[in-house]
Amino acid sequence: MTKLTFMFFFTIPYSITVGWAWPYLMIALFLAEKPGLENGLVVTAQWRPWFAKRFPFSMAIGRGVVYHPAPGIRGGMLTPTQTQFHEHVHIRQIEDMMLVGFLVAAAVLTVTALAGHAEYRLAALLWFTSAEWRLLSYVASFLRGERLYEDAEPEKSARAQSEHLKPMTIFTE
């Protein structure tokens, strides 16, 4: 998990525009501190204590994570490493969606090029926005009458993959 993955290539548009920028934006807005770098070019920061009291969550967007300074307050995460693993599951979900977006964009570009008018802008738009396609799962959980965030598939998946892990076995080299 400490090596830069092949999947990173597919997240480059989102990483550059959103994933790496938002932790630094939080720092610039004085909401976060302690910037860092974790496995595979994941930019990290930590909520400032005064903000952490009001917002007791860690969160990942793209390849950026802002951690709560005291994991375990909410969401059943018992240790910092479980929280780290949980947020890294979300990063892998983004990588997967970006790969799907790349493949859809390549298919659209191929079909439109064969038809005589290659749609480069549409293909780029599909790839660059594919990380956000997962937001449809939040809409689906709302429409099912479930909890908007906790019952959405990306969150249920990340929780299931991280809740039974032992803290010392998560990050091994």
140: Cβ contacts below 8 Å, ≥ 6 apart: 152, 153
Amino acid code (one letter) for 34: K
Q: 32-38 and 42-47 as β-strands: parallel, antiparallel, unpaired?
A: antiparallel
What is the pLDDT at residue 131?
83
103: Cβ contacts below 8 Å, ≥ 6 apart: none
Task: Give the least confident one: 3-17, 43-57, 94-108, 126-140.
Answer: 3-17
Domain assignment present for residue 15? The answer is: yes
**Under a CB-based contact definition with an 8 Å cutoff, are residues 45 and 37 in contact?**
no
**pLDDT, tens only, 66-113:** 888 875 544 444 466 778 888 888 888 888 888 899 999 999 999 999
Q: At what angle do helices 153-162 and 135-143 cross, to 10 degrees?
A: 100
pTM (2 decimals)?
0.79
Residue 83's domain spans which residues?
A: 6-168
**Distance separating alpha carbons of residues 114 and 128, to the nearest angstrom:** 22
The two three-digit tokens of residue 160, written as one number: 């299931």
Domain assignment present for residue 72? The answer is: yes
- Phi and psi at 75, nearest 5°, equal 80, 10
Instruction: Give the total number of structural domains in the chain.
Output: 1
**Distance separating alpha carbons of residues 68 and 49, to the nearest angstrom:** 9
**Distance separating alpha carbons of residues 160 and 99, to the nearest angstrom:** 23
> Which one is predicted more confidently, 57 or 142?
142
Domain assignment present for residue 151? The answer is: yes
Domain assignment present for residue 1? The answer is: no
**Under a CB-based contact definition with an 8 Å cutoff, are residues 128 and 134 in contact?**
no
Domain assignment present for residue 173? The answer is: no
What is the pLDDT at residue 103?
94
